[in-house]
Structure 1
């Protein structure tokens, strides 16, 4: 029986790309696999035919020879290029396993955690670290330099981070030949597993370092100096490159991320670049007006004029007395909010004067007069 055209077997055109050929083969492999076609006596033969076609068309040299000479390229004395090719019918278990393994790797390689074409690299980057740093509002205003102690992993000095005694280099794993993974044939499938000898590293240490026990790292607390720029807020993140955990087997270190928290202040409340300060004033100062002295975040003082008749909640703005912009120009503003304070623990004389004042000032309280007038109208309406 004459062989079918390989392109026809896979259901692709002659000008199909490598990706199109692989996709067609994957579809055929699923469709014709004997395990899924127990009721089809021809499934195994068709499955082998598809594998034979893919084994030729996936290889650039074999494909070129086939496009020029057809099946004759692999029969008689024509040969199939370097390494030979299928001769006659099904080309044997080894060639089939190689063809199907390519697709198996493509389908399931990510789940196996492997890397095609080689093992894992022995050097692994260290982990990133996080450090929470609390600063005062004054520090956030002017900027400050802080010294922090960070527990971290550093390269072992005894072995220079190699993990081997005396700093010797690891050797290639004899089980996987440095690939970091081993393959086992199970029927039609080639199963790939992490090498049990080197745990996927591809290398082993014959004589582990006594200090780090072959890890290449030791735990140590380091002191670092950190520059906190002016204008930082809670949540500001500062990155110190290479100050995280050391990598394994001489790999690069991770980074250290410092997260800033600005502590609550006893006097000032912050909203972005603006500051707010509540200042208590006496009833007489609020009524008569006058000047008050208020603190500013840099440690200075400012005089603020209180308008006569000020009420609780009255705000005055001090421009440029707020927080600096982070890594930018300019400052926010400071807002003074008045809180009119009611006197307590009055003497008899003070009470007497306040009663007299209250009798004389009925017409000087427009807000209360207006409110109680509305209340009277409300009650009259309800009664009516």
Structure 2
């Protein structure tokens, strides 16, 4: 029986109850009519048998609160004037064929899409409402829908240099993929049937009021659109099984510690021609004995002598993976000053590089030789009248 029949049939009239009948009244009416027209009590009576089928069908819909609500909304929207067909030119009506609306129109033709039905909507609205009534197999144009593969989360640890310059790393992943034993059908014979609940769409509609409905994954087929009559022993009828594979994955240059990278289409394979999911890689970066990281810039601390800091000079500074650079140290450079070597940092998203931030650290020798000690003693005598802490005490008094 088509969806059009369900929309146009008056199940309340079949059971002889009003539209506001309670569940108890519907159950009582069904039991009375079922006893009267049961085939066992009317052997050889084809009319009674047909009547019994109509009664059972009506009870199947009205006896279920969810189906009843959806049935009422569907009739309000399509059966009781919402989009009622009428003769051309009649006021408040539209001139079209309900058969087209529910996917029963001719295949192709003027005004129709390549899959039949008005506007080329494949199985038409009938396919959608077929799921509401939990009825039968697929109608014309109905097909199981492709399913996107699952996303996969994994982690990788890189060296400091690999994170800065980028690296291609092997990743061994375990994910759900089409079961090889049943070719992804879920049925050990390879012949699953279309789910009667969702008519192969993988979704069921639920009423939201006002004549509209929302869709949820089908609870019977778990959104697959197929049900295995003879479940595959490997995948238990799901059509998916765990599989391991090793992939060579390119981690872009400039990635930072704990960053999560999305690689499109590198996740689990889809079903029935659906796209693969995505792969999400959380990156962990090892520390470096010399260099640090601050955004797109690298950092390094360079020790200098007191004489270099006081008198100035040139200082050679190491870079990550490249030749050293020479920086000019101005006379009187204080401890902790940071200088910049441009273009020697980490790779940015646009391909350019950040800078290398060089922090000066004045090195104090732990043991002095005779000449160095004598020179330093002479320097202390020459600067004895200078007190570098004088301003500190003055500021403390004035506070």
Q: TM-score, normalized by length of structure 2? A: 0.57
Alignment-derived partner of residue 337 in structure 2: 314
Alignment-derived partner of residue 84 in structure 2: 60
Q: What RMSD, in angstroms, separates the aligned Cα atoms of the two structures?
A: 4.4
Whether the 8 Å CA contact 2:150–2:176 is kept in 1: the answer is no
Separation in structure 1 between the aligned mates of residue 333 and residue 77 of structure 2, nearest angstrom: 93
- Choose the corresponding residue for 1:152, options 175, 181, 199: 175
Separation in structure 1 between the aligned mates of residue 217 and residue 342 of structure 2, nearest angstrom: 66
Alignment-derived partner of residue 343 in structure 1: 365
Query: Which is richer in helix?
Result: 1
Separation in structure 2 between the aligned mates of residue 293 and residue 180 of structure 1, nearest angstrom: 67
Separation in structure 2 between the aligned mates of residue 64 and residue 123 of structure 1, nearest angstrom: 40
Distance 1:252-1:169 versus aligned 2 partners, 3 A rule: farther
Q: Which has the larger radius of gyration?
A: 1
Whether the 8 Å CA contact 2:145–2:201 is kept in 1: the answer is no
Consecutive unaligned residues in structure 2, runs of 5 or more? 1-18, 22-71, 100-126, 132-142, 206-212
Q: TM-score, normalized by length of structure 1? A: 0.58
Whether the 8 Å CA contact 1:229–1:327 is kept in 2: the answer is no
Alignment-derived partner of residue 233 in structure 1: 256
Q: Are 1:331 and 2:353 matched, yes or no?
A: yes
Q: 1:75-154, aligned counterparts within 5 Å? A: 116-119=128-131, 121=144, 123-154=146-177
Q: Secondary structure at the match of 1:336?
A: strand
Separation in structure 1 between the aligned mates of residue 251 and residue 146 of structure 2, nearest angstrom: 33
Q: Are 1:273 and 2:285 matched, yes or no?
A: no
Q: Per-residue displacement from partner, 1:292-321 (whole Å, max 9, x unpaired)?
A: 322101242223332332211223322222
Q: Secondary structure at the match of 2:85?
A: helix
Q: Per-residue displacement from partner, 1:260-305 (whole Å, max 9, x unpaired)?
A: 3443332222223222211112223322333332210124222333
Separation in structure 1 between the aligned mates of residue 257 and residue 285 of structure 2, nearest angstrom: 5
Q: Are 1:288 and 2:300 matched, yes or no?
A: no
- Choose the corresponding residue for 1:213, options 224, 236, 246: 236
Separation in structure 2 between the aligned mates of residue 82 and residue 221 of structure 1, nearest angstrom: 51
Q: Are 1:361 and 2:379 matched, yes or no?
A: no
Whether the 8 Å CA contact 1:231–1:327 is kept in 2: the answer is no
Distance 1:118-1:342 versus aligned 2 partners, 3 A rule: farther
How many residues of Structure 1 are paired with residues of Structure 2 in the alignment?
282
- Choose the corresponding residue for 2:192, options 160, 164, 170: 170
Q: Are 1:375 and 2:393 matched, yes or no?
A: yes
